[in-house]
Amino acid sequence: MKKTLFPVIVAMLIAIPATSAFAHKDTPGILGEHDTTGTVKQIDHKKGTFALQTKGGPTLHLHFPADDVKDVKNGDTITVHLGFTKGGSTEK
């Protein structure tokens, strides 16, 4: 189950700067929308992967396009915006 759900969650992550209004909020069909903040750990800039130690919660292992995380460093505090859909395609 974890291996199946993980790629779906990662695919739904949206990395955008914090602003006063988020266009993704209350998007029809998107479930579980929320923001989570944490500290970047173990970043691999070539792969675009890193661990995000959330405040008071689990460590999330995330993947983004490598170019999008080129300026992110270990120790940075960032916020990720999460959501998911049910029954999505697994095609690339």
Which token pair is 67?
A: 């170019």
Q: Which residues contact 35 (CB under 8 A, 6 or more apart)?
A: 79, 80, 81, 82
pLDDT tens digits for 18-57?
333 344 556 678 899 989 999 999 999 999 999 999 988 8
Compute the distance between CA of residue 65 and CA of residue 74 in angstroms, rounded to an integer. 17
Q: What is the mean pLDDT of the chain?
A: 78
pLDDT of residue 92: 53
Q: Terminal CA-to-CA distance of the chain, rounded, Å?
A: 20
Q: Which of 83, 65, 79, 78 shows the shortest CA–CA distance to 24?
A: 83
2-18+30-84 is a CATH 2.40.50.140 domain: yes
Q: Would you say the pTM of this structure is higher than 0.85?
A: no
Q: Where are the domains of the chain?
A: 2-18+30-84
